[in-house]
Amino acid sequence: MTTLLTTLESGSVILTLNRPERANSFNFEMVTELRQALAEAEKNPQVRCVVLTGAGGVFSAGQDISEMKQGDTMSYREHLDKTYNPLILQIRSMGKPVVAAVNGPCAGAAFGVALACDLRIASSSAYFVVGFGGIALAPDSGVSLFLPVYIGLGRAQEYFYSNKPITAQQAMDWGMVNQVGESNFQALVMQVAGGLSSGPTGAFAAGKQAFNNAVLSNLEEVLNYEGILQEEEGKSAEHREGVAAFLGKRKPNFTS
């Protein structure tokens, strides 16, 4: 089964993360397929907008932890350099608008992917979890930059430390989510995508470059530094306990 479903609809390509049995968590295959699909969308003249969503009632739980722990010698920094860092940069460099249609829980690296998109439309049942602190890691996927930009440094640190969910309504009130849809979620997503598809694509691309330059000009540096920090923390006893607790579905003990 492919890990990514692709549908072309009225000038928009809908890319659906498709590992519902694993809460649409990312593995290397899914990241690779998503990057390929984004590259094809950028080149396809029929595509004027990209929508990213998840199969079933989940956007994505983030990185598949079990895949990461298959080998103890895996370098977290190398993994980021091959997966999320180029994916985040690719989304931000795309001239065509990218909309995250967050249809359910969104956590960890997937949170960074959603934040990297140009707009976020959330269902009323969606929520966001920073996630990294729960397994004793520093944030990755640009979360350390995007989240303070959208909700402020104080809130970003609070929700990193606490690992509390950010509801769709909170996210909209704080400016992280553009719109929230209830029973009309899918229609709202396609309405937004349709509006973008009928717009001036050249001006949209130039505007995105301007916003990147004004607000996110250090994104590549941030991603690199996140990788350095995550490599260090990935070797810690705290992280080993966090992963063991996550896989064992128990509360971690970071104080013993």
Report pLDDT for 69. Answer: 65
Single-letter amino acid, residue 107: A
Query: What are the backbone angles phi and psi of residue 102, rounded to the nearest 5°?
Result: -85, 100
pLDDT at 74 over 90: no
For residues 176 and 165, give the distance between their C-alpha atoms in angstroms, rounded to a whole number.
13
Q: Is residue 213 situated within a structural domain?
A: no
Q: Nearest Cα to 166, choosing from 185, 143, 140, 136?
A: 143
For residues 121 and 102, give the distance between their C-alpha atoms in angstroms, rounded to a whole number.
6
pLDDT at 73 over 70: no
Query: Domains in the chain: how many in total?
Result: 1
Q: Nearest Cα to 239, choosing from 167, 144, 136?
A: 136
Can you give the pTM of this predicted structure?
0.96
Residue 44 lies in domain: 4-183
The two tokens of residue 207 are 């505007």
pLDDT at 129 over 70: yes
Q: Which CATH number characterizes residue 123's domain?
A: 3.90.226.10
Q: Give me the chain's average pLDDT, please.
A: 95
Exposure string of 9-26, with b = 16+ CB inside 10 Å and e = fewer, is eeebbbbbbbbeebbbbb
pLDDT at 72 over 90: no
Report pLDDT for 75. Answer: 87
pLDDT at 70 over 70: no
Q: Is residue 249 situated within a structural domain?
A: no
pLDDT tier, 165 (very low <50, low <70, confident <90, very high otherwise): very high
Q: Is residue 246 situated within a structural domain?
A: no
Q: Is residue 127 situated within a structural domain?
A: yes
Cβ-based neighbours of 238, under 8 Å, separated by 6 or more: 136, 254
pLDDT tier, 246 (very low <50, low <70, confident <90, very high otherwise): confident
Mean pLDDT of 104-133: 97
Report pLDDT for 87. Answer: 98
Question: Model confidence over 16-32: pLDDT tens digits?
Answer: 999 999 999 999 999 99
Q: Is residue 123 situated within a structural domain?
A: yes
pLDDT at 151 over 60: yes
